[in-house]
Chain A
Amino acid sequence: MSRLVLQNWLAPADLKSAWPGHEQRLRGALERLDGVRILELKPGQGLLEIKAPNVRGEQKLKSVVEDMLKPLKGWKVYEESTYDLPTTER
């Protein structure tokens, strides 16, 4: 099980007008997709949980989500990753 980050890179003004249409299409499509759960979806951003039997399956699901977003302007899909604070260990 892994997570995907959805991010829209349109300028704020363009996003504001596009978002209502995008949200409707995104929710509709994502909710019908087996193995995908919406954890969060807000203007210009989203977080999905994807569940597949193996890594290859998850890659395929990621491709499906990417294809789904292609007609909508400004969206990109990223795998979730983690960062730390680089202070020293005492």
Chain B
Amino acid sequence: MARSNLKDYVVLPARGIVSDNLATASLVNIAKRQSVRDVFDSMKNLKGLARFALNEGTSAVRYALEHGESKDYSLEVLHSFMDDGPKLVRMAPEAERLLRAEGLRVVPVTHYQLAVTAAPITVSAIDPAKLVNATDFLRHLYRGTATGPLGDGVTIGVLDSGVDGDHPRLKSVGGGRGLVRDESDLDWGPCGGKEGVHGTHVAGIICAAGDPAAGPVGVAPRAKVRSYRIFSKSNVKAGAQNYAIINAIRAAIEDGCDIINLSISGRGAKDDGVRDAINYAWDNGSLCLAAAGNDGRKPVSYPAAFPNCVAVSALGKDDLIPAGEKDRSFIADPRSQSDPTIFLASFSNLGPQIDFAGPGVWIVSTLPGGSMGAMSGTSMATPAVTGIAAVALSQNPTILGAKRDALRAEAIYKLLVSRAKPYRLGSFDYEGYGIPQA
């Protein structure tokens, strides 16, 4: 039998994602059965075959299998989370057609584009008349300011490219760990290069504090932030390995983090290690929030798309983006039906996994070395919602002090849902429940 070119596919049931027909043995048997049918169909002279079998003292069945012809139904199940769940399958084109004929959905393996990091636009001074950072954005939306506790007693883990704890506006950044192999586990500071600023910017959106006229203020300025560096000091572009991420989530739980911010997106298929780590955080009472990804209207990337992870898309407000700035190119449809100046950023991914939206275009925040600058991305929208979650948690001592189990994580999530305001962008896939109120 000639071997065809084998390709990888995802096999799903006709509807949904769970079916007993997806059991590995069931898929393999479909291919085997058809192969046997082919073999017997190909044996034209059954009388001759029977005579031969009698003369040679062998069975016709064995002879047919050895000498008959069949198409190539090679099928190997490469990966499976659950026996009745979707399968990653490597198979020949004929096997693919066979599964389709059996009513199964066969889809190609999807690879997501890289979310390339970029240098921020450095800002030398804040114009108090302009609303540019995440907190300003939120205040503008709600036409007021948050009152009461602003993250008091809440600890947030920022899994990122490291945070500059010496920044004068980041006094509530209190320690962390380095999780990259062969690098110091005590070094949670920012990575080098223009991409290394990311973590400091993200941390500022959550907890920057100081005179609002002099610089950005975070959404939860009294929350404690811990930095878990998962990118290499010298090469952020190499990406963060799931090994570091799993370890970082474990470490954040050990350190008592209530909320974990993951402004990261996967390069390709989901990996069950990070999924298990997010489930581990959930089971230990902590909520993970992740960026939906910046691939421009593509499906929500991982880890945001994992069931126990909160996925955040990015909104912008066009009158808050300075004239002449390139970030105005992110203005796009759909727009809010309640405030037409609000839009879903052109880069934002979308899909049914989106839980909330956050401000993610032209967000001014802290940069390493004591400076500040504007960046855009679902990376920026996520810490804004993380900060809101911290504020909400600090205002609910019952949940904050509850036993650290899955019920607590669910309660934090429901707290966000109860505070969310939809901006009527036209679909849940764009904004989920909307932007939660701080």
Instruction: Give the residues in chain A near B347, CB-CB below 8 Å.
Output: 88
Q: Are A83 and B376 in contact (CB under 8 A)?
A: no
- The answer to whether B276 touches A81, judged by C-beta atoms less than 8 angstroms apart, is no
Q: Quick one: given A81-B267, A81-B271, are A47 and B118 in contact (CB under 8 Å)?
A: no
Can you pick out 7 interface pairs between chain A and chain B where the beta carbons lie within 8 Å of each other? A5-B246, A78-B246, A78-B271, A85-B117, A85-B161, A85-B198, A88-B330
Query: Which residues from chain B contact A34 at a C-beta distance below 8 Å?
Result: none
Please indicate the chain B residues that have their CB under 8 angstroms from the CB of A83 in the complex: 230, 239-242, 245, 264-267, 274, 303
A84 touches B280 (CB 8 A): no
**CB-CB < 8 A to B375: which residues of A?**
87-88
User: A23 in the interface, Cβ–Cβ < 8 Å?
Assistant: no
User: Please, which residues of chain B bring their CB within 8 A of the CB of A81?
Assistant: 241-242, 266-269, 271, 273-274
Most central of B114, B161, B243, B264 by chain A CB within 10 Å: B243
Report chain A residues within 8 Å CB of B254. Answer: 12
CB distance from A15 to the nearest CB of B (A): 10
The contact string, 1 if C-beta is below 8 Å from chain A, for chain B 273-289, is: 11011001000000000
Q: Which of A1-58 contact B (CB under 8 A)?
A: 3, 5, 7, 9, 12, 39-40, 44-45, 47
| A interface residues with partner B (beta carbon < 8 Å) | 3, 5, 7, 9, 12, 39-40, 44-45, 47, 59, 76, 78-90
8 Å CB contact of A87 from B230, B240, B380: B380
Cβ of A76 and Cβ of B273 under 8 Å apart? yes
Among A40, A59, A82, contact of B78 (Cβ-Cβ < 8 Å) = A59
Cβ A85 vs Cβ B273 within 8 A: no
- B273 contacts A84, C-beta separation under 8 Å: no
Are B241 and A89 in contact, CB atoms less than 8 angstroms apart?
no
The interface residues of chain A lying within 8 Å CB-to-CB of B1 are none
Which B-chain residue is minimally distant from A47 (CB atoms)? B243
Beyond A80-B242, A86-B115, A86-B264, list 5 extra A-B contacts (CB 8 Å).
A78-B273, A81-B267, A82-B240, A84-B240, A89-B117
Q: B residues near A, CB below 8 A?
A: 78, 114-119, 121, 160-161, 181, 195, 198, 230-231, 236, 238-243, 245-247, 250, 254, 263-269, 271-274, 276-277, 280, 291-294, 301, 303, 326-327, 330, 347, 375-380
- The one of A12, A47, A86 that contacts B377, using a Cβ cutoff of 8 Å: A86
Q: Bound complex: CA of A54 vs CA of B303, how far in Å?
A: 29
Q: Does A85 contact B271, Cβ atoms closer than 8 Å?
A: no
Closest B residue to A42 by CB, please name it: B247
Once the chains bind, are B114 and A84 in contact (CB under 8 Å)? Answer: yes
Report the separation of the CA atoms of residues A44 and B293 in the bound assembly, to the nearest whole angstrom: 31
Residue of A whose beta carbon sits closest to that of B242: A81
Nearest-CB residue, chain B, relative to A6: B243
Q: Which residues of A contact B238 (CB under 8 A)?
A: 82
User: How many Å lie between the Cα of A60 and that of B143 in the bound state?
Assistant: 60
Smallest distance from the beta carbon of B97 to chain A beta carbons, Å?
Answer: 24
Q: How far apart are B205's CB and chain A's nearest CB, in angstroms?
A: 12
Q: In the complex, which residues of chain B have a beta carbon less than 8 angstroms from the beta carbon of A82?
A: 238-242, 266-267
Residues of A with C-beta under 8 A to B376: 87-88
How far apart are the CA atoms of A81 and B302 in the complex, in Å?
11
Report the minimum CB–CB distance from B210 to chain A (whole Å): 23
CA of A76 to CA of B276, assembled, Å: 10
| CA–CA, A2 and B435, complex, Å | 41
Nearest A residue to B270, CB-CB:
A81
- Give bound CA distance, A36 to B303, whole Å: 28
Q: CB-nearest residue of chain A relative to B280?
A: A9
Measured CA separation A12–B301 after assembly (Å): 31
Among A45, A83, A86, the one with the most B-chain Cβ atoms within 10 Å of its Cβ is A86
| Inter-chain contacts of B276 with A (CB < 8 A) | 7, 9, 76, 78
Chain A residues with CB under 8 Å of B303's CB are: 83
Does the CB pair A80–B116 fall under 8 Å?
no
Contact in complex: A84, B274 (CB < 8 Å): no
How many Å from the CB of B51 to the closest CB on chain A? 41
Contact of A90 among B118, B240, B272, B301 (CB under 8 A): B118
Bound-state CA distance A76–B273 (Å) is 8
CA distance A44 to B280 in the complex (A): 14
Contact B118 A84 (CB under 8 A): no
Complex Cα gap A45–B293 (Å): 28
Contacts A86-B115, A88-B377 given; indicate if A79 touches B271 (C-beta within 8 A): yes
User: Could you tell me the distance between the alpha carbons of A78 and B269 in the complex, rounded to whole angstroms?
Assistant: 13
For the complex, what is the distance from the CA of A87 to the CA of B160, rounded to whole Å? Answer: 12
Are A85 and B243 also in contact (CB < 8 A) when A5-B273, A78-B272 are?
no
Query: Given A39, A78, A85, which contacts B181 in the complex, CB threshold below 8 Å?
Result: A39
Contact of B263 among A9, A39, A86 (CB under 8 A): A86
Complex Cα distance, B195 from A90, in Å, reads 12
Is A90 in contact with B119, judged by CB distance below 8 angstroms? yes
Q: Please, how many angstroms separate the alpha-carbon atoms of A79 and B267 in the complex?
A: 14
| Partner pick for B264 among A47, A59, A80, A84, CB 8 A cutoff | A84
